[in-house]
Amino acid sequence: MKSSLKPVTTLWLTTGASTLLLVVYAWIYWFEPLTETASEYINDKVLDVLTLAAALAAACLGILYTSQFKAGEPPRRVWLAFLVGWWCWVGGEIAGLVYDYFYWYVDYPEFTVIDIFWLLGYAAFSLSLFLQFRLIYSRWKKNGLLFFAAILAVSLLTGLALTELALATGLGEGYSWFSLYVAVLYPVFDVTEGLAALWLAFLFGRGLWSRPWWGLIAFAIADGIAIYFWIGGYHGLSDGAVNGLYLFSDILYNAGYLVVALAFLMNFLILRFGRFNASHRTEELPTSVRE
């Protein structure tokens, strides 16, 4: 049965639900109302479940969007790879819940299944970017792998430089070099793939293809703040400033998932209805991408 909701109404309702999720998250985070009747652990897990809901929204709407392409269409490969990345991150969020159950009162292992899920997600995003670029320019078929190998090398070397800088300034005390390096790589990969997404938007000249990538920009800022504090960067700041920045980081982290979810939904509506007037501006899918 077809939905009676119009595309604009659907998008506004989803945007409203996303905003409400962020507001509820911020309220629980800052005021910790659940600690009056339950433990701090329960309060924290409710926040984690809200984050998991945002991650699932991105992954499920990604399935909806990707399913609009037939098996033989080149864009399907692009978005399948991108979709795998988001499901890997859903796996990371679920693994985080499991690890918290067992390690809430003791230190986490330095490298966990959570890290494996995150890194696999970044690998899937990189593959999607490669397929995306190759879809536009035929020359990428020959030089694309070399180019992305160069991007990977730059990312790894940047992570190495930042790790050494952190150690030189006294940050990361108590952590092994490897765990510190992996942690630093997260915002580095976010920035690298986020900038590649911006370039992608410039190459396409249309929002349709670039929208789902914008969530990585939010993750770059959120991960940067969280990792910096994790390695000890909060020294010299007041408790209020630290808590405020942690809240900003967590809100931005959740917003990253929701931006991706809304982008997938908007793109789905464009494909499904042929055109979508969201702000007195018509946007259509280029016929060339289905060739």
Q: What is the pLDDT of residue 34?
A: 76
The predicted pLDDT at position 1 comes to 41
Give dist(CA 226, CA 233) in Å, integer: 9
Q: What is the pLDDT of residue 193?
A: 84
Asked if residue 2 is part of any domain, the answer here is: no
Residue 271: per-residue pLDDT: 81
Tell me the one-letter amino acid at 204: F
What is the per-residue pLDDT for 284? 37
CA distance 22 to 16: 10
On whether residue 1 sits in a domain, the answer given is no
| Structure-token pair, residue 119 | 């890194």
Q: Identify the domain containing residue 279 by its residue range.
A: 7-290
Q: Which residue has the tokens 């190759």?
A: 134
Q: Is residue 243 one of the residues assigned to a domain?
A: yes
Residues 105-125, buried b or exposed e (16+ Cβ, 10 A)?
eeeeeeebebbebbbbbbbbb
CATH number of the CATH domain containing 159: 1.20.1070
Angle between helices 113-136 and 177-204 (to 10 degrees): 20
Query: What pLDDT does 36 receive?
Result: 64
User: Does residue 142 lie within any of the structural domains?
Assistant: yes
Q: How many helices (H) and strands (E) does the chain have?
A: 9, 0
Both tokens of residue 93?
Answer: 């969020």
pTM to 2 decimal places: 0.87
Q: How far apart are CA 48 and CA 51, in angstroms?
A: 5
Domain total of the chain: 1
Short-list 230, 277, 258, CA closest to 54: 258
Structure confidence at residue 291 (pLDDT): 30
| Average pLDDT per block of 10 residues along the chain, 291 residues long | 67 93 94 74 92 97 92 86 96 95 85 95 90 69 69 90 91 88 92 78 63 86 91 84 93 96 91 57 37 30
Residue 181 within any structural domain of the chain: yes
